[in-house]
């Protein structure tokens, strides 16, 4: 790792005191590797040690080749830094997750916290996962589709755009862009780019973000704020500023002493700090704030509402409605030739988001329908609600699966003219169209594995 900036070292010496040498030593060590299971897809036991603050988080003793594991592409798990999984405690301890909630993940890419939120909220809740940078929003949409929840909208908007949805969200998660001190061990470039000026710049930007989105949080709603940095300016000071500016209330989280998480306090605001010498994870900060006040009943005029979303026609819906196991629970929406679904109870809320924001992906994309020709779409294959009984399936071995995920030609050794759902160990990967004894590979080009294959491929999934 590059030499640490002198001003950073002095500040950390002040914060950590006698623990500073141990902190320095930890920064020279190999970062831990962790994943979070998708329990809606992967239900088997794993022989791994658990991340203590997450029910579905696990550590690896060393980093395997995740890219060459079909189960990663099937959405059976997500590779995520362990400290950031503390979001689970923040949400569970402050929110009734049995309720139908509107949740915002403002800075969602690449998808770690969004897929985590999707696993924690009820199926009757709506998650809006946002990323302002378009290229990163595309990656976010891919990871949301792979997770397969079906109750997530991916947007690409500036934080100020959320002012169009006043008091809409019950919960907001802001994993704010920061100076990245907590990533020094993993990313040497973060050390080179660090400066005191950049810390000040980040702190001011975070305040602008908080100001821009605060009006979209309901009175009584919860804000979960996090960074991957250790300086007070971007963390405790910003939360104390929010408490003063917006009359926000700090919420405490119960900690297990064995976790090694450090509780901090400034002007009555509590925060939670993760140091690599004390926890098995990277540098992280989190605080929870409540917007004071009580939510008001939303007024409805009684006038017939104009919707932006259009329900699918009866003929088109009849062609595909049996493709989900609980089709009656979903609203079937049509946009040009594409049909997608949203949970029925979330249709109005989702439509409001579509009207006010730029949505790049929503619900579950089911199929493209042109007359009687129907083409199943990739997100359907990965949906947690897919009805596999409606399709012919073929289980690939590991080498075939990797070659399919590279969008290469593979031979199934069968004949036919139908769509085939290709799987690995029973986990759907995507579609192929059988034409005689060959297949057309319909795996999305932009999702394909690009890395060069090693001389010897892995023998099994990293979870097996």
Can you tell me the distance from the alpha carbon of 405 to that of 442, in angstroms, rounded to the nearest whole number?
A: 10
Q: Quick one: 409 exposed, middle or buried, by C-beta within 10 A (0-12, 13-18, 19+)?
A: exposed
What one-character-per-residue DSSP string does 11-66 give?
A: HHHHHHGGGHHHHHHHHTSPPPEEEEE-TTT--S---SEEPTT-TTEEEESS---G
Helix residue spans in 293-365 (DSSP H): 314-320, 347-356
Can you tell me the distance from the alpha carbon of 236 to that of 231, in angstroms, rounded to the nearest whole number?
A: 8
CA angle, residues 87, 105, 247, in degrees to nearest 5 = 80
Beta bridge partners of 424: 396, 427
Q: Quick one: 278 exposed, middle or buried, by C-beta within 10 A (0-12, 13-18, 19+)?
A: middle
194 near 229, Cβ under 8 Å?
no
SS (H, E, C) 96-127: CCCCCCEEEECCCCCCHHHHHHHHHCCCCCEE
Q: Quick one: 236 exposed, middle or buried, by C-beta within 10 A (0-12, 13-18, 19+)?
A: buried
Rg (CA), the chain: 23
In the chain, count H helices and then E strands.
13, 22
Residue with tokens 């060393």: 62
CA angle, residues 15, 19, 20, in degrees to nearest 5 = 65
Can you tell me the distance from the alpha carbon of 232 to that of 23, in angstroms, rounded to the nearest whole number?
A: 17
What one-character-per-residue DSSP string does 347-399 give?
A: HHHHHHHHHHS-EEEESEEEEEEETTEEEE-HHHHT-TTB-GGGSEEEEE-HH
Q: What token pair was written down for 105?
A: 């993940």
3-state secondary structure of 172: strand
Q: Considering the candidates 107, 178, 202, 228, report the single residue annotated as catalytic.
A: 228
Q: Does residue 107 have an active-site annotation?
A: no
Q: Is the backbone peptide bond immediately before 329 cis, with ω within 30 degrees of 0?
A: no
Active-site positions read 228
């Amino acid at each position: 790792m590059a030499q640490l900036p002198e001003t950073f070292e002095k500040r950390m010496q002040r914060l950590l005191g006698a623990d500073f040498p141990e902190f320095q030593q930890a920064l020279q060590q190999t970062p831990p590797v962790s994943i979070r299971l998708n329990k809606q897809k992967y239900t088997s036991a794993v022989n791994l040690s658990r991340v203590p603050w997450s029910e579905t988080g696990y550590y690896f003793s060393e980093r395997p080749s995740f890219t060459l594991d079909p189960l990663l592409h099937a959405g059976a798990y997500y590779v995520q830094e362990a400290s950031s999984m503390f979001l689970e405690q923040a949400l569970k301890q402050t929110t009734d997750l049995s309720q139908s909630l509107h949740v915002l993940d403002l800075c969602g890419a690449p998808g770690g916290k969004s897929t985590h939120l999707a696993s924690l909220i009820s199926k009757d809740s709506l998650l809006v996962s946002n990323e302002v940078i378009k290229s990163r929003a595309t990656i976010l949409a891919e990871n949301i589709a792979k997770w397969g929840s079906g109750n997530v909208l991916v947007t690409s908007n500036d934080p100020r755009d959320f002012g169009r949805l006043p008091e809409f969200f019950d919960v907001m998660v802001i994993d704010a862009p920061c100076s990245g001190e907590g990533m020094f061990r993993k990313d040497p470039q973060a050390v080179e780019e660090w400066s005191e000026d950049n810390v000040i710049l980040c702190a001011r930007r975070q305040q602008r973000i908080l100001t821009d989105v605060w009006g979209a949080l309901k009175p009584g709603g919860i804000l979960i704020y996090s960074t991957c940095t250790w300086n007070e300016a971007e963390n405790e000071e910003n939360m104390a500023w929010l408490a003063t500016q917006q009359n926000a209330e700090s919420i405490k989280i119960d900690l297990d002493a064995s976790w090694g998480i450090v509780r901090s306090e400034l002007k009555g605001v509590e925060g939670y700090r993760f140091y690599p010498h004390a926890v098995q994870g990277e540098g992280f900060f989190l605080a929870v704030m409540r917007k004071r006040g009580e939510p008001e009943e939303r007024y409805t005029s009684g006038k017939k509402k104009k919707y932006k979303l259009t329900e699918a026609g009866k003929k088109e819906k009849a062609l595909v409605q049996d493709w989900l196991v609980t089709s009656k629970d979903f609203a079937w929406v049509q946009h040009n030739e594409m049909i997608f679904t949203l949970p029925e109870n979330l249709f109005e809320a989702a439509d409001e988001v579509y009207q006010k924001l730029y949505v790049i992906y929503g619900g579950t994309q089911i199929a493209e329908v042109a007359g009687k020709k129907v083409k199943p779409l990739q997100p359907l294959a990965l949906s947690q609600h897919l009805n596999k009984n409606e399709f012919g399936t073929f289980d690939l071995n590991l080498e075939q699966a990797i070659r399919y995920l590279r969008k290469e030609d593979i031979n199934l050794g069968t004949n036919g003219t139908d769509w085939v759902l290709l799987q690995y160990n029973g986990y759907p990967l995507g579609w192929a169209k059988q034409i005689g004894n060959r297949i057309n590979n319909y795996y999305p080009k932009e999702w394909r594995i690009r890395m060069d294959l090693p001389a010897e491929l892995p023998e099994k999934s990293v979870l097996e």
